[in-house]
């Protein structure tokens, strides 16, 4: 079936049914209904030879696929803030797919879509504090939309490479050991190391020690002086992907640029940029506007459905350093294809954010961000006031890193880690709740200074979360922990 004038009513009924199913899946309270075992379901790999009537297919999908999906919209999913339950965001996602605009070119592929995407980038630049400028062509826009933070960070690394050694893009990398990227030890996001390798620089990362999950500025200064002239980029986290700690942005910028003005400063603010919407909390990212580039992930923090990221730059004209030309990419004033490395045809994913910003405005989003941080602080206090849990990080944004810790083993690192892993595994099996788990150096020395620990991590982000949800989660973890500990 293909949409046409003759079947439009039938198409509407089919799509209305899908929306009904989608909404019901969003409001399901459990994180996951069933656990999927691929060994018992190898038939899903069989190529379908005969087609299946669409309504029958949808019914099978509802019965055989959705129950196995993770429900990020559930208030019991507490690993990420990626709830994706904004009605405006879902509306933008639906309309973007219906309208089928291709933002590689503007005049015939995406005439108004191009300008709405430019508007979204302009709004994000204002939120992080970059200086506004008149937009006369694509080189004045100062940002690109990508499909995720990894793509944004990879593009930033390309810009840093071209800034460090001119014309590397056309001549190739010579002496990769002189293209050093500096990251904070133990909290760096994998995309930076991967990007360095993807763009021909090898695994050329130097990690600098941290204090409280921020750069040790004395150690950073020593490293910058040691490798002076060879440092291509310094990456800072405005909410690292484990503890959501915000680095000392103004001090970092002054230190790095004071030693070498040419070093590219990149802020991975995929989470933290959202504080710019909040009058109450925007001061926490003061100094971010001094960075050469900033990666943002609206799909992580603004309740949009996946995927949408944006890389913003302080000086828009730098994109000329990584442009590519082709007669398939029109050399017109507003063709995004000229400044989007790794991306050819590009869907109108920014429409989701356009809908959300128009629907809520800066003030509405600010209230949403404030609620998120209030829930994080509330859980922080509950953990601190409990005899059964220990808090492992300072709470800058919305990440609470904690462990269930019975008094008898509170200072036994091996037993604490073993218990925490068992709790997480059992939680995953039951599918009722979900919190994140990863390895982390105990930077604050709560259990054992710089020892590797395996905590649980809660991240607030779902606008539907209330205090009772936090209490229920802690009770669940406590009961599960006691049961496992006494087995």
Q: What percent of the chain lies above the pLDDT cut of 70?
A: 99
pLDDT of residue 201: 95
pLDDT at 108: 87
pLDDT > 80? residue 414:
yes
Q: What is the mean pLDDT of residues 162-176?
A: 92
Confidence of residue 105 (pLDDT cuts 50, 70, 90): confident
- DSSP letters of 25-69? HHT-SSS-S----GGG-GGGGSPP-S---HHHHHHHHHHHTGGGS
Cα–Cα nearest to 403, from 484, 470, 462, 474: 474
Q: Which range, of 93-102, 309-318, 341-350, averages the lowest pLDDT?
A: 341-350
Sheet of strand 205-208: strand arrangement: 143-146, 309-313, 293-296, 264-268, 231-237, 180-184, 205-208
Average pLDDT over residues 304-332: 88
Structural domains present in the chain: 92-357 (3.40.640.10)
Residue pLDDT, tens place only, 360-411: 999 999 999 999 999 999 999 999 999 999 999 999 999 999 999 999 998 8
Q: What is the pLDDT of residues 264-288, one digit of tens each?
A: 999 999 999 999 999 999 999 999 9
Find the mean pLDDT for residues 315-338: 85
pLDDT score, position 421: 97
Of 477, 290, 292, 303, nearest to 379 (Cα)? 477
Q: Which strands form 399-404's sheet, in the order they lie side by side?
A: 389-391, 399-404, 456-459, 436-437
Exposure string (b/e) for 262-277, b if CB count within 10 Å is 16 or more?
ebbbbbbbbbbbbbbb
Closest CA to 30 of 461, 428, 456: 428
Four-CA torsion 233, 238, 240, 243, nearest 10 degrees = 150
The mean pLDDT value for 136-159 works out to 95
Of the candidates 450, 432, 433, 449, the residue with the CA atom closest to the CA atom of residue 441: 450
For 90, counting Cβ atoms within 10 Å of its Cβ (0-12 exposed, 13-18 middle, 19+ buried), the class is: buried
Mean residue pLDDT of the chain comes to 94
pLDDT tens-digit readout, 65-88: 999 999 999 999 999 999 999 999
């Amino acid at each position: 079936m293909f949409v046409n004038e003759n079947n439009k009513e039938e198409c509407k009924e089919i799509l209305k049914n899908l929306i009904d199913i989608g909404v019901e899946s969003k409001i399901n309270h459990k994180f996951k209904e069933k656990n999927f075992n691929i060994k018992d379901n190898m038939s899903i790999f069989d190529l379908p030879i005969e087609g299946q009537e669409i309504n029958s297919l949808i019914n099978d999908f509802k019965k055989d696929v959705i129950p196995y999906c993770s429900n990020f919209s559930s208030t019991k999913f507490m690993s990420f803030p990626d709830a994706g339950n904004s009605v405006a965001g879902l509306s933008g996602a639906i309309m973007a797919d219906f309208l089928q605009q291709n933002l590689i070119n503007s005049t015939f592929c995406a005439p108004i879509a191009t300008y709405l995407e430019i508007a979204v980038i302009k709004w994000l630049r204002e939120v992080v504090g970059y200086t506004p400028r008149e937009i006369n062509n694509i080189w004045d826009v100062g940002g690109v939309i990508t499909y995720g933070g990894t793509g944004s960070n990879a593009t930033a690394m390309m810009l840093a490479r071209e800034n460090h050694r001119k014309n590397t893009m056309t001549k190739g990398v010579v002496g990769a050991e002189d293209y050093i990227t500096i990251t904070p030890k133990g909290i760096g996001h994998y995309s930076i190391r991967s990007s360095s390798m993807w763009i021909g620089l090898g695994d050329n990362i130097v990690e600098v020690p941290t204090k409280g999950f921020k750069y040790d500025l004395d150690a950073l200064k020593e490293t910058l002086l040691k490798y002076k002239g060879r440092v291509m980029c310094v990456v800072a986290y405005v909410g690292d992907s484990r503890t959501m700690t915000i680095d000392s942005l103004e001090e970092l910028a002054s230190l790095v640029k004071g030693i070498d003005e040419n070093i590219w400063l990149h802020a991975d603010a995929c989470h933290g940029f959202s504080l710019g919407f909040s009058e109450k909390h925007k001061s926490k990212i003061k100094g971010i506007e001094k960075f050469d580039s900033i990666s943002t992930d609206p799909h992580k923090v603004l309740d949009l459905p996946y995927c949408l990221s944006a890389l913003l730059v302080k000086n828009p004209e730098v994109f000329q350093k990584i442009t590519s030309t082709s007669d398939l990419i029109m050399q017109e004033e507003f063709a995004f294809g000229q400044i989007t490395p790794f991306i050819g045809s590009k869907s109108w994913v920014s429409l989701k954010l356009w809908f959300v910003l128009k629907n809520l405005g800066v003030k509405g989003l600010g209230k949403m961000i404030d609620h998120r941080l209030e829930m994080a602080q509330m859980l922080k206090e509950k953990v601190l006031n409990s005899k059964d849990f220990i808090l492992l990080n300072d709470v800058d944004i919305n990440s609470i890193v904690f462990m269930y810790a019975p008094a008898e083993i509170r200072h036994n690192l091996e037993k604490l880690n073993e218990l925490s892993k068992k709790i997480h595994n059992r939680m995953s099996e039951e599918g009722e709740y979900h919190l994140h788990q990863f390895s982390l150096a105990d930077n604050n020395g709560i259990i054992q200074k710089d020892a590797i620990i395996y905590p649980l991590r809660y991240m607030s982000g779902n606008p539907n979360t209330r205090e009772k949800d936090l209490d229920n989660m802690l009770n669940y973890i406590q009961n599960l922990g006691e049961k496992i500990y006494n087995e």
